[in-house]
Amino acid sequence: MDKPTRTQIVILGSGSPIANPERSGPALAIIVDHTTYIVDSGPGIVRRSAEAAVKHQLTSLQPNNLSRAFLTHLHHDHTAGLPDLMLTPWTNDRLEPLMLMGPPGTEKLADGITQAFGEDLRIRLNGLEPANETGWKTHAKDVLPGVIFSDDLVNVEAFLVDHGNWEYAYGYKFTTPDRTIVISGDTTLSAEVERQSVDCDVLIHEAYSNIGWLEYSPDWRKYHAAFHTSASDLGRLAERAKPKLLVIHHILRTTEGLLDEVRQEFSGDVTIANDLDIF
């Protein structure tokens, strides 16, 4: 009898643009059996993945196994680790090119990174380094909302969310043989996130607390209200959608007040993500 499929979520970075040494930039891994799917590529992603591979004894998170990735949007805190994800696994013996999907602009970003590192590639490929000739490549694809990827283990649906001025910012719904996982990406309160999350197994959603919001200047408060989701709004969304587990991700200024404010509205299971957590 075949071994049952098991889906795991590993938080590779739970942070934001704020350079918190305890929180790498936004990134997570969904592992189905022994195949890894990355969502977002914040700073520190490959080393966090290598650390998680050791901590959780998951060979699928070793750098040479990172070859499938999706971007929610193109803010730098979600993409500054992309050169690392494109190239470091190759120098750690990845043979398979990186498959990268994301909103319009993803192809341009990946092509620009490849061009910027052209001299590095030339030396590694044509010098004395025993580098393979395939793992450095990135096959990037701009995608529009809908089902964007499917294989024997996952079905991935991209959907639009409201992230300020971004025309294309996505959430993702991963459906595996044993779990349904919804990732909000960066967004204000979104009816589409709620619709996608109804009765899902895990909802991974960003949020800021009112306590943290009040620490900002008026200009930053206006920004966060337009680009992100308050803890109270998230709690109300979750109470309607009823995910089996709510994971608060993309921690902005502070975690103070986050859980209390969500729990005032949401009666279900909720936790705050930290780097290297596994669900």
122: domain CATH number?
A: 3.60.15.10
* pLDDT of the residue at 4: 57
Angle at 210 between CA 182 and CA 173, to 5 degrees: 5
- Domain-located, residue 1: no
Give domain status of residue 127, yes or no: yes
**What pLDDT score does 215 carry?**
85
Q: How far apart are CA 40 and CA 74, in angstroms?
A: 9
| Inside any domain, residue 279 | no
In-domain check, residue 110:
yes
What is the predicted pLDDT for the residue at 11? 98
Picking from 263, 153, 243, the residue whose alpha carbon sits closest to that of residue 198 is 243
- Type and span of the H or E element at 171: strand 170-175
Cα angle: 269, vertex 7, 31; to 5 degrees? 115
pLDDT at position 183 over 80? yes
pLDDT digits (tens, 9 = 90+) for 79-113: 999 999 999 999 999 999 999 999 999 999 999 99
Over residues 31-54, mean pLDDT: 97
Q: Which domain holds residue 205?
A: 7-272
Total-model pTM: 0.96
Residues 210-229: tens digit of each pLDDT: 998 888 899 999 999 999 99
Does 229 fall in a domain? yes
User: Is the residue at 278 inside a domain?
Assistant: no
Record the tokens describing residue 116, joined without a space: 């910027």
Domain-located, residue 268: yes
- The strand pairing partners of 142, in sequence order, are 102
The count of structural domains within the chain is 1
For residue 209, pLDDT over 90 is answered with yes
pLDDT at position 249 over 50: yes
